[in-house]
């Protein structure tokens, strides 16, 4: 019988553990050079009506970190990502994103904050009837709002060039004029990555980026995503049901289970069987 | 081996359901009575209809009459197309105010939807009467009636179309820091565009049908010819008008169906 993650971690990895909460902290918490903290969640809780999704979630993510957020269906991974980005309000607690309060910010401040992050979603979320280039140019709307970024036809030359460069980086420059709904799943997700990267974000969020792709396309997309993230030196937070992906691409793992953060550990210190406990 | 018996063919209604059915049937009879339904009139109508058909056929195909009616039909189409196009254009901002969760708050949504409901509740012929009073007899009153009728129709359905779009692209653009108006312009409206085209073409068909009768109240178009034909017992000319309306309306419906297929299938 598999042991629960809490039991497992408390037994096997009591490095910086908190016996009360069951959260294991093996991530570095201090160094001589104080690292820049990009994301800081403090006692975050989220409920929809009477349905509590999670509570008392706290963590700090430093600049350049690659963090996998894992957990079973309904554990609240996507909800937590949306709370961090301020797309939905938290029920209690606070989130600081890139040094700014994301939970109590005014709408205009929140928009400016979001303009410095990127999101890649499970379903790619491209606008199907528009061209690939227009979709990528939309990634600049946070920084350059207004009519000129509504379509590639109207976009100023620098924005078109930036979008073409982003498409080039995902290997799809020759598809710029194609309609987004005429791409394969893998191509579509690569365009979504280009849209997320075109604004040169400091933090990238990816919500199960390979869930709708076949295994081969999923591997390609993850490889490309992390190659580009490393090149741009951005902090990456991604959710995944794929344990191998989480351990391979994440250097830190956050695990949600039973409405709480049950695991916070460096990937190097974990095995696949450790993570499977989260899905029991 | 025993088989479980099949359920009975008819379920015995509960007492409440039985009362509901009885009330429904009584309501229908009450409405028929109010509508002056008479089997005797139904039985005597075919000979009268045959008498009308006998006097109406052959239709009046006099070239002078056809020319006059043709120009009236052109005016009818002008009223319909101008009214529908302006109505569809004005419907978009109205729909943005009516659609929940887009750019306006719940109070604005509700007030806009109630206003659109009121516009739809008033028949187009009544709007034509109002505009005849406001701007005088003629096709301009008819066009304004079509505009307001189209706003009531398209404003509501455009709003519903936008509310029903996939929220994923909008969320992704919101996550880039885009403003609400940018999100609506770049994600919501393109996603709703096929439904907009379909609704707008249906509005055009509806406008053509409406514009053929607005002349009955002096709001321009071929309807006045129909009225005059019946008033003067000139049934052959009235029949010509009816046939022209039928041909034009069916033609517009066919054209609209073709355009719907072409535009929705190929639009970028």
d(C-alpha B140, C-alpha B129), whole Å: 12
Q: Where does the pLDDT of residue B114 fall: very low under 50, low under 70, confident under 90, or very high at 90 and above?
A: very high
Provide, as residue numbers in chain B, all residues whose Cβ is less than 8 Å from the Cβ of A177: none
Residue in this structure with the two tokens 């903290």, named with its chain if needed: A37
- pLDDT above 70 covers what percent of chain A? 88
A142 CA to chain B: closest CA distance, Å? 4
Q: Is B101 on the interface with A (CB under 8 A)?
A: no
Q: State the complex-level ipTM.
A: 0.79
Span B225-242, average pLDDT: 91
Report the sign of the C-alpha dihedral through residues B169, B90, B119, B110, in that order.
positive
d(C-alpha A221, C-alpha A188), whole Å: 10
Does residue B86 register a pLDDT over 60?
yes
pLDDT of res. A9: 41
Provide, as residue numbers in chain B, all residues whose Cβ is less than 8 Å from the Cβ of A109: none
Provide, as residue numbers in chain B, all residues whose Cβ is less than 8 Å from the Cβ of A114: 174-177
Q: What is the tally of helices (H) and strands (E) in chain A?
A: 9, 10
Alpha-carbon Rg of chain A, whole angstroms? 19
B178 CA to chain A: closest CA distance, Å? 4
Q: Is B42 on the interface with A (CB under 8 A)?
A: no
Provide, as residue numbers in chain B, all residues whose Cβ is less than 8 Å from the Cβ of A192: 172
Q: Tokens for A68?
A: 């996998």
> Over the stretch B236-247, which tens digit does the pLDDT of each residue have?
999 999 999 999
d(C-alpha B168, C-alpha B173), whole Å: 9
Question: In B164-188, where does DSSP find H-type helix?
Answer: 168-175, 180-183
- DSSP conformation class of B104: S
Interface of A with B (CB under 8 A): 85, 87, 110-119, 121, 123-131, 134, 138-143, 145-147, 149-151, 179, 192, 195, 199, 205
Residue in this structure with the two tokens 């034509």, named with its chain if needed: B128
Torsion of CA A169, A170, A171, A176, to 10 degrees: -100
- pLDDT above 70 covers what percent of chain B? 97
Does residue B194 register a pLDDT over 60?
yes
d(C-alpha A264, C-alpha A68), whole Å: 10
Nearest to A127 among B175, B186, B194 (CB): B186
pLDDT of res. A29: 46
The answer for residues whose C-beta is within 8 angstroms of residue B27's C-beta and 6 or more apart is none
CATH class of the domain whose range is B68-266 = mainly alpha
Comparing A205-219, B13-27, B225-239, the range with the smallest average pLDDT is A205-219
> Over the stretch A17-66, which tens digit does the pLDDT of each residue have?
443 334 444 444 444 566 677 899 999 999 998 899 999 999 998 888 88
Span A210-227, average pLDDT: 79
| Nearest one of A79, A88, A82, A90 to A44, comparing CA atoms | A90
Indicate yes or no: CB of A131 within 8 angstroms of CB of B179.
no
Indicate yes or no: CB of A126 within 8 angstroms of CB of B169.
yes
Strand partners, A204: A118, A236
Nearest to B178 among A128, A134, A141 (CB): A141
CB pairs under 8 A between A and B: 88
Nearest to A141 among B168, B176, B193 (CB): B176
B30-52 burial: b if 16+ Cβ within 10 Å, else e: eeeeeeeeeeeeeeeeeeeeeee
Indicate yes or no: CB of B178 within 8 angstroms of CB of A113.
no
pLDDT of res. B156: 95
pLDDT of res. A16: 38
> Over the stretch A108-135, which tens digit does the pLDDT of each residue have?
888 988 999 888 888 889 998 899 999 9
pLDDT of res. A5: 41
d(C-alpha B235, C-alpha A259), whole Å: 79
pLDDT of res. B1: 55
Span A150-167, average pLDDT: 92
Q: Say which residue, A6 or A199, is predicted with more confidence.
A: A199
Q: Which domains does chain A have, with CATH numbers?
A: 5-26+35-267 (3.40.50.300)
- DSSP conformation class of A178: S
- DSSP conformation class of B185: I
Provide, as residue numbers in chain B, all residues whose Cβ is less than 8 Å from the Cβ of A205: 175
Query: In a 3-state reduction of DSSP, which class is residue B261?
Result: helix
| Nearest one of A47, A214, A205 to A113, comparing CA atoms | A205
DSSP character string of B119-140: HHHS-HHHHHHHHHHHH-SSHH
Nearest to A142 among B178, B187, B267 (CB): B178
- Residue of A84, A132, A141 to mutate for B, most B C-beta atoms under 10 A: A141
Span B134-154, average pLDDT: 94
pLDDT of res. B2: 58
Provide, as residue numbers in chain A, all residues whose Cβ is less than 8 Å from the Cβ of B168: 121, 123-125
Domain ranges across chain B: 68-266
Q: Where does the pLDDT of residue B265 fall: very low under 50, low under 70, confident under 90, or very high at 90 and above?
A: low
The answer for residues whose C-beta is within 8 angstroms of residue A33's C-beta and 6 or more apart is none
pLDDT of res. B182: 93
Does residue A279 register a pLDDT over 80?
no
Q: Say which residue, A230 or A150, is predicted with more confidence.
A: A150
Comparing A94-103, A173-182, B6-15, B90-99, the range with the smallest average pLDDT is B6-15
Task: Please identify among residues 192-221 of chain B the ones whose CB lies closer than 8 Å to any CB of chain A.
Answer: 193-194
A11 CA to chain B: closest CA distance, Å? 40
Neighbours of B89 (CB within 10 A): 14
Indicate yes or no: CB of A130 within 8 angstroms of CB of B268.
yes
A269 CA to chain B: closest CA distance, Å? 33
pLDDT of res. A20: 37
Provide, as residue numbers in chain A, all residues whose Cβ is less than 8 Å from the Cβ of B266: none
Contact B258, B204 (CB under 8 A): no
- Compute the mean pLDDT over every residue in chain A, rounded to the nearest whole number: 82
Highest mean pLDDT among A59-68, A142-151, B105-114, B210-219: B105-114
> Over the stretch A258-268, which tens digit does the pLDDT of each residue have?
888 888 889 88
Strand partners, A118: A204
Instruction: Indicate the angle between helix axes B106-121 and B63-98, nearest 10 degrees.
Output: 160
Q: Say which residue, B53 or B90, is predicted with more confidence.
A: B90
A144 CA to chain B: closest CA distance, Å? 8
- DSSP conformation class of A25: B
Which residue of chain B is at minimal alpha-carbon distance from A207? Answer: B172
pLDDT of res. A8: 37
User: Half-sphere exposure of A232 toward its Cβ, with a 13 Å CA cutoff?
Assistant: 26
pLDDT of res. B91: 96
Which residue of chain B is at minimal alpha-carbon distance from A193? Answer: B172
Q: Say which residue, B185 or B7, is predicted with more confidence.
A: B185
Q: Where does the pLDDT of residue B262 fall: very low under 50, low under 70, confident under 90, or very high at 90 and above?
A: confident
Span B193-199, average pLDDT: 90
Does residue B4 register a pLDDT over 80?
no
Which residue of chain A is at minimal alpha-carbon distance from B178? Answer: A142
Torsion of CA B17, B19, B23, B26, to 10 degrees: 120
d(C-alpha B24, C-alpha B79), whole Å: 42
Q: Tokens for A166?
A: 């982003």
Indicate yes or no: CB of B171 within 8 angstroms of CB of A125.
yes
Query: In a 3-state reduction of DSSP, which class is residue B12?
Result: coil
Neighbour-count burial of A127, counting CB atoms closer than 10 A to its CB (0-12 exposed, 13-18 middle, 19+ buried): buried
Q: Tokens for B61?
A: 């195909």
Indicate yes or no: CB of B175 within 8 angstroms of CB of A119.
yes
- DSSP conformation class of A277: G
Q: Tokens for B200?
A: 């707008």
d(C-alpha A55, C-alpha A78), whole Å: 14
Phi/psi of residue B237, nearest 5 degrees: -70, -40
pLDDT of res. B199: 92
Phi/psi class of residue A187: alpha, beta or left (left: φ > 0; alpha: ψ in -120 to 50)? alpha
Contact A235, A63 (CB under 8 A): yes
Does residue B75 register a pLDDT over 80?
yes
Indicate yes or no: CB of A115 within 8 angstroms of CB of B177.
yes
């Amino acid at each position: 019988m598999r042991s629960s993650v809490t039991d497992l971690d408390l037994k096997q990895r009591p490095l910086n553990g908190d016996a009360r909460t069951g959260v294991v902290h093996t991530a570095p918490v201090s160094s001589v050079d104080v690292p820049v903290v990009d994301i800081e969640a403090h006692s975050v809780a989220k409920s929809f009506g009477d349905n509590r999704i999670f509570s008392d979630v706290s963590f700090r993510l430093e600049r350049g970190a690659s963090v996998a957020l894992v957990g079973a269906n309904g554990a609240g991974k996507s909800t937590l990502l949306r709370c961090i980005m301020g797309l939905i309000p938290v029920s209690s607690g606070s989130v600081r994103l890139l040094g700014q309060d994301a939970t109590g910010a005014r709408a205009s401040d929140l928009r400016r904050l979001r303009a410095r992050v990127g999101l890649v979603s499970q379903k790619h979320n491209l606008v199907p009837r528009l061209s690939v280039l227009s979709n990528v140019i939309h990634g600049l709307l946070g920084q350059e709002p207004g009519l000129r970024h509504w379509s590639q036809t109207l976009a100023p030359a620098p924005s078109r060039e930036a979008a073409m460069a982003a498409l080039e980086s995902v290997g799809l420059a020759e598809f710029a004029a194609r309609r987004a709904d005429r791409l394969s799943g893998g191509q579509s997700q690569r365009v979504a990555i280009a849209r997320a990267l075109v604004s040169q974000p400091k933090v990238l969020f990816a919500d199960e980026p390979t869930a709708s792709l076949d295994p081969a396309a999923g591997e390609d997309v993850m490889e490309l995503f992390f190659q580009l993230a490393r090149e741009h030196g951005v902090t990456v937070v991604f959710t995944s049901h794929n344990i191998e992906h989480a351990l391979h691409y994440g250097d830190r793992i956050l695990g949600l289970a039973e409405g709480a953060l049950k695991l916070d550990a460096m990937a190097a210190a974990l095995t696949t069987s450790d993570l499977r406990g989260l899905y029991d | 081996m025993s088989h479980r018996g099949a359920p009975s063919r008819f379920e015995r209604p509960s007492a409440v359901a039985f009362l509901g059915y009885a009330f429904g049937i009584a309501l229908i009879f009450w409405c028929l009575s109010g509508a002056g339904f008479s089997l005797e009139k139904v039985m005597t109508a075919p000979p009268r209809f045959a008498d009308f058909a006998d006097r109406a056929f052959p239709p009046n195909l006099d070239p002078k009459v056809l020319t006059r009616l043709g120009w009236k039909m052109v005016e009818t189409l002008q009223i319909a197309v101008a009214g529908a196009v302006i109505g569809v254009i004005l419907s978009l901002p109205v729909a943005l105010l009516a659609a929940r969760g887009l750019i306006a708050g719940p109070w604005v949504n509700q007030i806009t939807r109630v206003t659109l409901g009121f516009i739809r509740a008033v028949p187009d012929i009544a709007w034509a009467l109002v505009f005849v009073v406001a701007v005088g007899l003629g096709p301009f009153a008819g066009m304004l009636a079509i505009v307001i009728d189209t706003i009531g129709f398209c404003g509501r359905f455009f709003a519903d179309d936008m509310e029903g779009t996939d929220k994923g692209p909008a969320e992704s653009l919101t996550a880039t820091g885009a403003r609400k108006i940018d999100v609506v312009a770049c994600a919501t409206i393109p996603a709703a565009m096929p439904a907009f085209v379909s609704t707008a073409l249906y509005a055009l068909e509806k406008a053509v049908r409406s514009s053929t009768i607005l002349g009955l109240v002096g709001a321009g178009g071929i309807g006045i010819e129909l009225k005059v034909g019946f008033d003067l017992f000139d049934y052959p000319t009235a029949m010509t008008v009816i046939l022209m309306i039928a041909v034009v309306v069916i033609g517009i419906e066919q054209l609209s169906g073709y355009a719907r297929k072409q535009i929705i299938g190929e639009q970028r």
